[in-house]
Amino acid sequence: MDLLLIKEGFPLLTFLIFLPLAGAVVLLFFHGESFARLWTLVITSLTAVISLLLLTGFDSASPKYQFAEAYDWIPRFHINYIVGLDGISILLVLLTTFIMPFCVLASWKYIKNRVAPFMFCLLIMETSMIGVFVALDFVLFYIFWEFMLIPMYLLIAIWGGPRKVYASIKFFLYTLAGSVLLLVAIIALYLKSGSFFIPEMMWQEYSLVFQVLVFLAFFLAFAIKVPMFPFHTWLPAAHVEAPTAGSVILASVLLKMGTYGFLRFCLPITPDATMLLATPILWLSIAGIIYGGFTALAQQDMKKLIAYSSVGHMGFVTLGIFVLNSRGVEGAILQMINHGVTTGALFLCVGMIYERTHSRDLALASGVGKYMPWFVTFLAFFSLSSFGFPGTNSFIGEFLVLAGAFDHDIILALAAIPGAVLAAAYMLRMLQKVVWGGTANPDQSYLTDLSIREIVVLAPFLIFVFWIGLGPQPFINLMHTSVSQLLDQLHHWQQHHQIAAVLWR
């Protein structure tokens, strides 16, 4: 079976990867501040518009990797430049390309010094993020995966808050340390399968011990990136100190790479180990959901609150992936998108408050509803979306995940329910404080409501909140074929390899 649907003619994916890079190179030569802002906006918007071509050309009935391109790169080691797109990655690529213009807009006034280098880092980030989602060669994937650390590190370390040095180094060390063993696992897989081509590594007869070792190496790298409890400690630090655009990228795209990794690599490459180890991972997800909820409840810093809520939300995603049924996995992918939209928007909101009050403290931002009606309207919708209010996007995602979890194991699903309640608690607490506050509100009369630019930034997020919330079918259609193909193969595998999945029962 040929896995690739080679794209003839215009190399669309390569163009999408390297357009931001080319834009970044231009910024090396022209340093003007307003030029840098405009240029980056143009490049990111152009990338976003061109990425729509993916949507029109995508055949959602085929589980193959589409828009594929393959070129020789390092023949001696069988390393090739292969990119392609399937139902799992297409939404993530689109999410990336569409988040970026808003990151640029959000930094329009927020970033005041060293504008050109900032934009340079953003563009480099975009290149490597798209690269990660479309790479079908493991070495290519790893290169994008690791390279991303440099611009992200610089984004936090140069333009971050007061504890930026600590946060950025922690981020870098954690993620790098997690992925060094990934490299060894990649090489080991190559030596077994004879190729770095990812689909060729899938569904091979590896021994169980080998699978478990590879799985653990994968797990460490991806769990740190997600971040799963108990590997989450870098996240609040990085989120809090990063500039708004950095937080948005981190929350909307970077965290998805971990869960994308689970789906793309763990399930098909190490199916036996996945089934063997799914149960402890599921319970870790539950722990993350509950822990994230409780910690978020106690936060005074709005960014920290949202960061911990991310830990909880990403717990839902890993929960959905490892229940290993189609509702769960589709819910998980949808939840990845939802989290990208909602949390990205929440970080943008916090950034807008911060630009005005220069504080992210809940107490100092309380009672702004009177002076910023537009702002709190947006904030209210995004908060509702964040805890999965019916009619918003997260409801669909969490509902599917929980439905999948009930199919899998009732106790597990029941254990996840408190997480949903906690989410409502901490989000409503924040909303209450920000909109109304109490009797002792600080004087907020100097605040101005959102400008047109800020409304333009937030409105598209709102559209997606309701679009996915009310009509999720087009999104699910995109991923359905690939997901069911993946799960069919997994169950087929399970039947033919009687593995001791009963070990944990």
What residues make contact with other proteins under the rule CB under 8 A?
73-77, 139, 142-144, 146-147, 149-150, 153-154, 157-158, 164-165, 168-169, 172-173, 176-177, 180-181, 183-184, 187-188, 190-191
Q: In this complex, which beta carbon is closest to other proteins, that of residue 78 or of residue 429?
A: 78
Comparing C-alpha atoms, which of 380, 351, 371 is closest to residue 453? 351
**Encoded tokens for 16:** 């999408």
Name the nearest CA neighbour of 461 among 334, 339, 340, 341: 341
Q: Which is nearer to other proteins, 190 or 382 (CB)?
A: 190
Cα 77–80–81 angle (5° rounding)? 150
In angstroms, the CA 463 to CA 43 distance is 23
What region does 391 belong to: left with phi over 0, alpha with psi -120 to 50, or beta?
A: left
- Of residues 107 and 175, the one with the C-beta less far from other proteins: 175
CA distance from start to end of the chain = 37
Shortest Cβ 272–other proteins spacing (Å):
20
Q: Concatenated DSSP letters for 225-282?
A: HTTPTTS-THHHHHHHHS-HHHHHHIIIIIHHHHHHHIIIIIHHHSHHHHHHHHHHHH
Q: Which is nearer to other proteins, 239 or 327 (CB)?
A: 239
Residue entry with tokens 């990338």 = 47
Q: Which is nearer to other proteins, 190 or 464 (CB)?
A: 190
CB of 61 to other proteins, least distance (A): 36
Side chain identity at residue 477, one-letter code: N
Q: What angle do CA 252, 258, 262 make, to 5 degrees?
A: 135
Nearer to other proteins, 134 or 458 (CB): 134
Place of tokens 């920290």: 304
Question: Cα separation of 64 and 75, whole Å?
Answer: 24
Nearer to other proteins, 9 or 75 (CB): 75
Pick the closer one to other proteins by CB: 254 or 476: 254
Structure tokens at 466: 């309701």
Point out which residues pair with 71 in neighbouring strands.
Answer: 81
Closest contact distance (angstroms) between CB of 221 and other proteins is 12
Identity of the residue, 153 or 461, whose beta carbon is nearer to other proteins in the bound complex? 153
Answer whether 277's CB lies under 8 Å from 212's CB.
Answer: yes
Which is closer to other proteins, CB of 84 or CB of 117? 117
Write down the least CB distance from residue 143 to other proteins, Å: 4
Q: In this complex, which beta carbon is closest to other proteins, that of residue 73 or of residue 283?
A: 73
* Cβ atoms of residues 98 and 130 within 8 Å: no
- How many whole angstroms from its chain centre is CA 200? 26
Residue placing its CB nearer to other proteins in the complex, 74 or 363: 74
Instruction: Give counts: helices (H), strands (E), the chain.
Output: 21, 3
CB contact set of 382 (below 8 Å; sequence gap of 6+):
342, 345, 346, 349, 461, 462, 465
Q: In terms of residues, how long is the chain?
A: 505
Name the packing angle between helices 410-435 and 373-386 (round to 10°): 170
Q: Which two tokens stand for residue 248?
A: 């948005």
CA 474/CA 455 separation, integer angstroms = 26
The pair of three-digit structure tokens given for residue 188, joined into one six-digit string: 């080991």
